[in-house]
Structure 1
Amino acid sequence: MPTDVKRRYFELLREGLMGAAAAREVGVSTSCGSLWFIDAGSMLVPDPGPISPRFLTQDDRIAIADGLHAKQPVKEIAASIGKSLSTVYREIERNRKPDGRYQPWWAHNQALLRRGRPKEEKIRSHEPLRTLVREKLTEKWSPQQVSRFLARSFGNDPAMRACPETIYRALFAGLLGFKDARLRTGRTRRKKQRRGVPQPNKIKNMTLIHQRPLEVNDRTQPGHWEGDLIIGRGQGSAIGTLVERSTRYVRLVHLPHGWKAPQVRNALIAQTADLPTQLRRTLTWDQGRELALHQDIEALTGLRIYFCDPHSPWQRGTNENTNGLLRQYFRKGTDLSVHTSHDLREVARQLNRRPRMVLGDKTPSEAMRDYLTGPLTC
């Protein structure tokens, strides 16, 4: 029987028609309709419709059943209904009948039964579980650690299991106490989430490091720089750092007027103005907002700017190493605005005249002179 006929039969039942009337309406016998009804579990749960696009609809489940009957791969079924592969796998595993068949109306009824609300919170209704969770939180365990412990210790007792989200909800609802059992962060409210919401501070038109020319990785050609800021006390001051990847040659950028995007742009342009053209190839930076005007910097310096992935400092490891050396001169937690441009030139001069094992005990200044016809001043 075509799927549309069955769909219409169950729609009529949900609208309140008796089985015989619904069967006559779709053109089948009463006994045929009765067999459909029995196969669906002999019940029909009122369907208010999906409360979120992430839930599967009755039509989605019919498409899954049709796909399985046609022996389609689950990946193709998921693509046809616009859901993820894991969602369809979970649906088939969770809502198939005891005999292993996936029957769409049975599956939909089961999903609606589980969705019924209101339900009493699991931790509220189960004293042993509540006590054990409270004890572990008092010992500064995280909800994830507590959940894994419950899964290990009570694998055969579903009543003593709780996922991290259940524990978080109980915490924020006050079911576990407000003083003893709390998160290690001390937070008593849920932190706002921004899943799927574009970050307002994301830098526009970035070119990521994965598009950077492969020749940069070889370190055989000078002119490829890495940059960053070292921040002073209270984030009130900063110094820009530039290091050339091949020679480890260092330049320091004076930022006496702050380190927002316009100040950093102007300072970088001024600092690189005297560099020969062959030393202005690329600049790799992290995704800090101080480089939001990177397109202006590219246009006025000739440097092609590439951005690292978030939280990936190893992608500009030379610069991270250099910043560590610079902390010998600019201690953490100090005010960096007290250092003049002359101070920065002197520090850069000392670093560039310090022999480096990675250069075969040459100094960065000597390595740079090997590439240039004359000495490069700081």
Structure 2
Amino acid sequence: MDCHDYITVEPERKRGQHLGQEERGAIQQLRKLGYSLRAIATKINCSASTVLNELRRGTPTRKSSRGRAPEYSAKRGLAVYKANRMQSRRHHRILYCADFINWVVDQVRTQKWSLDVCVGHARLHRQFAENNIVCTKTLYNELAAGNLPLSVFEVPELLKRRASRKRGREHKRLKGRSIDERPAIVDERVEIGHWEADTVIGCKSGKEAVVLTLVERVTNNYLAIRIPGKNSESVIEAMEELRAEYGDRFSSVFKSITTDNGSEFEKFSTVENWGSSIYFAHPYSSWERPVNERHNGLLRQYIPKGVSIEKYTPADVLRFADELNSRSRKRLGYQTPEELFDAFLDSLYAA
């Protein structure tokens, strides 16, 4: 009985494909039979120039005028073809961007910039010619391949994993108005003046200084204030200092503040007496304050986990925040939070 699932006729070679072992064997035999270049090309369905190039690859160079002329060998042609293919790979772009790569390495190590910030900042300010800059993806690929003079531990953001969003536990009592009551305009990030707050601790054991952090959701302007302890009194004292700094404009600068349910924010609702709206995220739902959590992670580049904050002065903590505010951000079009927030204050006080 005939079987219709198999064929014995091999598919015809398509023009444009590289020559295979069978085509090279055909060239060798047809050449011995005296076929011309065009006749061989017609037989194996390729151009005459392809046959000529293959003959040149597979024919050894004649060393003297004596004896027979060297003939084409399909085996030799295949070997030369494979050797050429090994050398035909595209060279890494970073080999032609040494100045840019050296600058990136310096920014990562001294300024703690991410690779993407380096690329965006360099392009925005035209520090290098466009053909001397590689894209963010290329930099991360070269880092993963070990072709950059950096280790993955010098780019800590690369090692972070996205945390799963878990629903908060309902049994813990909120210390004020729920985030569910917060206006929708806050989520849209179109109006400046809405902040997120939290505290950053050093050592978990013992009573010591912590850092009160606030970040503006639109400009990403970051405030970091060293306070004596993780308690409500220290938090309120820090907020009173901010109120004294901005005076009558406090409620315009801090239109709303969203914080978590930590014990240090037990009395935070009193800030509403100054004209600001205070909201509390659901318990165990840090993802509801994403901007603040993100920036607290950046602060860990300066204050690692487990290191006592007592080792840092209030001036040190303020300097860390200033460095973060002077860092270009992709979400801001590679502008800095400092530039955008200063422009907001200028317009506020001008009005």
TM-score, length-scaled by structure 1: 0.44
TM-score, length-scaled by structure 2: 0.47
Structure with more contact order per residue of length (Cα contacts < 8 Å, sep ≥ 6): 2
